């Protein structure tokens, strides 16, 4: 059975504040990624991966001596969720913080978050053997949860050592977990933990589009309709009436020959480098995964990992080849290169006009805006002409271009 997650809680993301490009590469199409990196050193960090139709806002994030956390408000339709992602590093020479410090800090932390009005969901890697009933740390941790009205739901080993370290915690009064969380198979030293939440199904994004079938226009009929109109036979003498007649005549003819068609479509993420080879590889990967999940044999697991790695290799290779070719073909067109850069970093922005009720008023506003812009540019040029050229003679030249940046990004 193919499982497509709506929300993924992440720990040990290992991101830094400067790795915007890496974040984009780690974000599947149709999803958004938000995270809180570790402020110093390497490793650690928490994050959330979620479908684009879900609204997620960061409420708080921080690092205490014993653990890192991030708080998120998740809204899906009429359902709300207060999600907290926790990562507690294990005791080590690099992190010599005992569990007693963690219990003290986590107790104070729980006192504040359990007052939330929204359903509460705490997930993360606690590095406590919650499955060991004779372990003092485990007993103390579970007693702490019970005393604050919380419940831990995960059963089974979530780490290669055979212990339950990755937990899902909710309020005892919140019935948001619809089934017992399932520990998925091991791909790193930790297993993924899957669960179903009581929530609205995430709908696919829909948008309304309008278009005309211009290729189907009968050119001769269009010529005949325009030539028999008042625009050609009896044109107005005043300019404003002539412009109005021109617009009305052409719009009427266009509506007759190619009427405006409106429809609602479902938008699905797509990438320009996707090809038939990748499609075939994904199909074989899915087939290998189904076989492995059915048989549970190590040989089938190895075959699945081989197919998965091959698919990932093909997608990375196709993406790199696409952008290399794009840069080679458009290296002299900085506009296209800048547009590609925005696409790589997901800086998409829909074209939006100022709020208006009158199209004529909007046209006048835009005309005045650009006229004033030209006046400002001329004024700045007049001012700049008075400067001495010597001011700029010693300035170093900057040769780093957007094209080179993208090339470095793809290497």
Least confident piece of the model among 8-17, 339-348, 394-403: 394-403
Share of the chain above pLDDT 70, in %: 86
- What is the token pair recorded at 70? 């991030």
Q: What's the mean pLDDT in 338-360?
A: 66
Q: Is there a single domain that holds both residue 112 and residue 139?
A: yes
CB atoms within 10 A of CB 386: 6
Q: Is there a single domain that holds both residue 127 and residue 220?
A: no
Q: Is there a single domain that holds both residue 180 and residue 55?
A: yes
Query: For the chain, how many structural domains are there in total?
Result: 4
d(CA 354, CA 361): 11
Could you tell me which residues are beta bridge partners of residue 150? 171
179 within some domain: yes
Q: Is there a single domain that holds both residue 225 and residue 326?
A: no
Q: pLDDT for 71-112, tens place per residue?
A: 999 998 888 999 999 999 999 988 899 999 999 999 999 988
Q: Is there a single domain that holds both residue 101 and residue 132?
A: yes
* Owning domain of residue 285: 276-344
What is the residue whose two structure tokens read 């091991």? 186
Q: Is there a single domain that holds both residue 184 and residue 95?
A: yes
Domain end marker among 223, 239, 265 = 265
402 within some domain: no
Q: Is there a single domain that holds both residue 182 and residue 258?
A: no
Q: Is there a single domain that holds both residue 164 and residue 37?
A: yes
Question: Is pLDDT at 409 greater than 60 in this prediction?
Answer: no
What contacts 45, CB < 8 A, 6 or more positions away?
11, 12, 13, 14, 15, 35, 36, 37, 38, 68, 87
Q: pLDDT for 360-379, tens place per residue?
A: 887 888 888 888 989 888 88
Give the confidence band of 340 by pLDDT, cuts at 50, 70, 90. Answer: confident
Could you tell me which residues are beta bridge partners of residue 166? 125
CATH assignment of the domain containing 111: 3.60.10.10
Considering the entire predicted model, what is its pTM? Answer: 0.60
């Amino acid at each position: 059975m193919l499982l497509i997650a709506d929300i993924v809680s992440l720990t040990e993301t290992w991101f830094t504040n400067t790795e915007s490009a890496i974040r984009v590469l780690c974000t599947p199409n149709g999803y958004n990624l938000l995270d809180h990196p570790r402020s110093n050193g390497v490793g650690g960090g928490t994050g959330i991966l979620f479908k684009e139709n879900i609204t997620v806002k960061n409420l708080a994030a921080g690092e205490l001596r014993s653990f890192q956390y991030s708080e998120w408000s998740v809204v899906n339709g009429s359902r709300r969720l207060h999600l907290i992602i926790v990562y507690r590093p294990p005791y080590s020479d690099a992190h010599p913080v005992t569990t007693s410090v963690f219990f003290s800090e986590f107790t104070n932390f729980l006192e504040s978050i359990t007052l939330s009005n929204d359903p509460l969901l705490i997930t993360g890697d606690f590095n406590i053997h919650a499955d060991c009933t004779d372990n003092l740390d485990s007993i103390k941790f579970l007693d702490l949860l019970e005393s604050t009205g919380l419940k831990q739901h995960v059963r089974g080993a979530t780490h290669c050592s055979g212990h339950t370290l990755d937990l899902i915690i909710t309020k005892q009064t919140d019935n948001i977990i619809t089934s017992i969380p399932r520990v998925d198979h091991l791909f790193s030293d930790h297993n993924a933990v899957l669960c179903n939440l009581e929530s609205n199904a995430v709908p696919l994004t829909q948008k309304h589009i309008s278009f005309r079938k211009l290729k189907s226009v009968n050119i001769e009929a269009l010529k005949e309709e325009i030539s028999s109109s008042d625009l050609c036979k009896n044109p107005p003498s005043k300019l404003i009436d002539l412009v109005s007649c021109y617009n009305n005549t052409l719009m009427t003819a266009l509506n007759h020959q190619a009427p405006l068609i409106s429809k609602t479509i479902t938008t699905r993420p797509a990438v320009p480098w996707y090809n038939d080879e990748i499609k075939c590889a994904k199909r074989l990967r899915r087939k290998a995964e189904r076989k492995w999940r059915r048989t549970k044999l190590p040989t089938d697991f190895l075959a699945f990992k081989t197919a998965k790695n091959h698919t990932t290799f093909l997608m990375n290779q196709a993406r790199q080849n696409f952008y290399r070719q794009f840069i080679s073909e458009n290296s002299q067109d900085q506009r296209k290169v800048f547009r590609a850069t925005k696409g790589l970093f997901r800086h998409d922005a829909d074209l939006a006009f100022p709020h208006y009720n009158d199209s004529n008023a909007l046209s006048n506003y835009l005309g005045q805006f650009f006229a004033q812009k030209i006046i400002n540019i001329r004024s700045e040029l007049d001012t700049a002409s008075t400067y001495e050229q010597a001011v700029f003679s010693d300035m170093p030249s900057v040769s780093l271009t957007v094209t080179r940046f993208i090339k470095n990004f793809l290497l």
